[in-house]
Structure 1
Amino acid sequence: MSTSPLQLSVLDLVPVRAGQTSAQAVAASLDLVGAAERLGFTRYWFAEHHNMPSVASTAPPVLVAAAAARTTRIRVGSGGVMLPNHSPLVVAEQFAAIEALAPGRVDLGIGRAPGSDPVISQLLRMSGTTSDVERFPEHVRDIAALASPEGATVRFASGGTYDIHATPAATTAPEVWLLGSSDYSAQLAAAMGLPYVFANHFSGEGLERALELYRSGFQATAQHPEPRTFLTANAIAAPTAEEAEERALPHLRMMVRLRTNMPLIPLETVEQAKARAGELDTAGEQIMASARAKWFVGTGDSVATELSAFAARWGVDEVMLSPIAGAYDGEPMDAAPGRVQTLELVAAAVSGIP
């Protein structure tokens, strides 16, 4: 078990609420990046999801580059790039370029899931991208090699070689992390000696087994002599517990839509969510209750205390928050006061925990 002070990081899906444009949602997230850097957060990652009215994080490399350009200290990265949607060389080139923008502070988190529905997955792969999931381990190794200063070498069956570099003269490389919510990703990260993150914010199911598989099977390398992991968690903090619970409602109701295959919409405001509360049936209420039980919602002090206990239980010294606080009517469209407030309150409270 780690005895280091708890580090905090951010996972951002760039949420889009009712009446908000994509430009406003991105502006709000970049404002949140600035807050995370100011507050001393360790890293800031953008997820990859497609064709969802409530999520604007469709292109992590673009968002990571924008975040890198606006910051000087915090690590920036993807959480993650969904590799079946992309060519390994393109991914390596994109993140090698970002590494050149922000040397020594870029994380390339890679996942195996498509991040969308089958129709979108097919459209993403129409241009010849490497969608063969069985070759995922090979593609991860290719990206790490291509983005490194040494580059990679293609060896032809007929003889001869061909050298490839993701960027012409790299001196540093992005740090590769494997992400996942299954036993497969934990075992692969262990076998490859890579840092690993279990997607605990999805459902919280399977965390114990994934960490055990990763830690027990880890194969040390010169770059990573020990297993390295942290936890993700959905979190909302507010000055009062009542406000925090209200700000949780839009995302809780979105969870019902996701779990019951209802048409997806932009996130409701708090007022809209409260006004439509009576529309849910018993099954919907149960989905909300189950999700809420796994989230960290309350005052800054209560959330920080729960997060610290959560980290201690699983022997990690870092928690990556997905700040999912909803917005009230009248709050600015190009900012996210509830999400900024979550970071501010949790950071202040964690710093006071011995």
Structure 2
Amino acid sequence: MTSPALSVLDLVPVRTTQTSSQAVASSMALARRADELGFRRYWFAEHHNMPSVASTSPPVLIAAAASVTTRIRVGSGGVMLPNHAPLIVAEQFAALEAVAPGRIDLGIGRAPGSDPVITQLLRSSGAAGDVERFPSHVQDIALMLRRDGATVQFTSGGEYTVRSTPAASDSPQIWLLGSSDYSARLAASLGLPYVFANHFAGAGLQRALDLYRSTFQPSETLAEPRTFLTANVVAAPTAEEAEARALPQLRMMARLRRNLPLGALETVEQAEQGIADGADADERTLIDGIRSSWFVGASDDVRASLDEFASRHGVDEVMISPVAGAYESEPLDAPAGRAQTLELLAP
């Protein structure tokens, strides 16, 4: 069985007593380590108004990560397009391509990345597009990123050329992200590479891949289907340590599923104490269910499971979200358990 290439998805987690600055510093250190270890790409997610997540602005974080790495591809996983005007997205990623030529990925998603109030605030200027126009906006961005730009046709006659940057030498690679039949069909119809967001929505994975592959239409940039999967992963020297480091994120996800108030990510000690103090049956059931789709354990076992996962779904790459929590004694500006996960699974 051939091992898949590995990439990294980062939500820039913020743990108890950690500042946003320290969380970002930790993620930059993790990006540098991923670059050194030979991971294929490093993507930042877009989430808003969450106490435990600092990845609110992927383009800013991508620029920062590009400045501290030399080889690895950096990108978004993804930009939630309905929150943004297509031209702004095209301009941001054309600028990033100029900063790090040949290393930029533009992953695009359709979900809001937050709650309805924040979604309304993000779109209150009227600049962002509505969800119904998502397919045309994806196409608009692809055209504006090309060297010759996009041509706007006026109903009254005449044309107007729009370029995302004055003299592009190349353009970012566009990926469509999703967790549904809709995203799979759209990626196939546009001839775009596709990523199934398995790290938060495992249901329907094989159906989405089958739809994408069976309905794929070749495009100028992609001759045949190309896809990879995401996964939540914790690797440690022992299975016991891995399970302990997974607990803070598992408890956070259980609270999210139950619509309970969220806070900063617990340390391992806080999460263990919370369970010891009497987690109710609903929380324990949710944690067990969420844990069943994660890859948690000693490094050799996790790597074997990832190999089997990739082989079963016919992909040559897995993007891991290293969800290992930190112990209270570990530095606030270092990735600790997350870096350990990468080091133990390095290609």
TM-score (norm 1): 0.96
Corresponding residue for residue 293 of structure 2: 294
Conserved in 1, the CA contact under 8 Å of 2:2 and 2:307?
no
- Where 1:120 maps in the other structure, the secondary structure is helix
Conserved in 1, the CA contact under 8 Å of 2:83 and 2:123?
yes
Aligned equivalents of 2:241, 2:118: Cα separation in 1: 37
- Where 1:333 maps in the other structure, the secondary structure is coil
In the TM superposition, residue 69 of structure 1 has moved relative to its aligned partner by 1.2
In the TM superposition, residue 332 of structure 1 has moved relative to its aligned partner by 0.3
Aligned equivalents of 1:4, 1:292: Cα separation in 2: 25
Corresponding residue for residue 164 of structure 2: 166
- Where 2:43 maps in the other structure, the secondary structure is strand
- Where 2:232 maps in the other structure, the secondary structure is strand
For residues 157-194 of structure 1, the C-alpha deviation after alignment (integer angstroms, 9 at most, x for no partner) is 11111111111000100011000111100000000000
Asked if 1:63 corresponds to 2:64, the answer is: no
Aligned equivalents of 1:279, 1:147: Cα separation in 2: 54
Asked if 1:242 corresponds to 2:254, the answer is: no
Q: 1:1-354 maps to which residues of 2 (within 5 A)?
A: 5-277=3-275, 278-347=277-346, 351=347
For residues 263-289 of structure 1, the C-alpha deviation after alignment (integer angstroms, 9 at most, x for no partner) is 010000000011110332111111100
For residues 220-270 of structure 1, the C-alpha deviation after alignment (integer angstroms, 9 at most, x for no partner) is 123211100001000001111110000011001001110000001000000
In the TM superposition, residue 72 of structure 1 has moved relative to its aligned partner by 1.3
Aligned equivalents of 2:199, 2:266: Cα separation in 1: 20
- Where 2:203 maps in the other structure, the secondary structure is coil
- Where 1:158 maps in the other structure, the secondary structure is coil
Aligned pair count reads 346
Aligned equivalents of 2:327, 2:255: Cα separation in 1: 20
In the TM superposition, residue 12 of structure 1 has moved relative to its aligned partner by 0.3
Percent same amino acid among aligned pairs?
67
Equivalent position amino acid for 1:222 in 2? E
Aligned equivalents of 2:147, 2:205: Cα separation in 1: 35
Aligned equivalents of 1:269, 1:4: Cα separation in 2: 36
- Where 2:152 maps in the other structure, the secondary structure is strand
Conserved in 2, the CA contact under 8 Å of 1:203 and 1:291?
no
Aligned equivalents of 1:236, 1:290: Cα separation in 2: 16
- Where 1:294 maps in the other structure, the secondary structure is coil
Q: Which runs of 5+ in 1 are unaligned?
A: none
Aligned equivalents of 2:30, 2:176: Cα separation in 1: 25
Q: Which moved more, 1:126-135 or 1:250-259?
A: 126-135
Equivalent position amino acid for 1:308 in 2? D
Conserved in 2, the CA contact under 8 Å of 1:10 and 1:43?
yes
Aligned equivalents of 2:87, 2:54: Cα separation in 1: 24
For residues 94-117 of structure 1, the C-alpha deviation after alignment (integer angstroms, 9 at most, x for no partner) is 000000011111100000000000
- Where 1:154 maps in the other structure, the secondary structure is strand
Equivalent position amino acid for 2:248 in 1? P
- Where 2:292 maps in the other structure, the secondary structure is helix
In the TM superposition, residue 131 of structure 1 has moved relative to its aligned partner by 3.2
Aligned equivalents of 1:203, 1:270: Cα separation in 2: 25
Aligned equivalents of 1:5, 1:168: Cα separation in 2: 41
In the TM superposition, residue 75 of structure 1 has moved relative to its aligned partner by 0.4
- Where 1:319 maps in the other structure, the secondary structure is strand
In the TM superposition, residue 71 of structure 1 has moved relative to its aligned partner by 1.2
Aligned equivalents of 2:153, 2:58: Cα separation in 1: 31
4+ residue runs of structure 1 moved beyond 6 angstroms?
none
Aligned equivalents of 2:339, 2:259: Cα separation in 1: 30
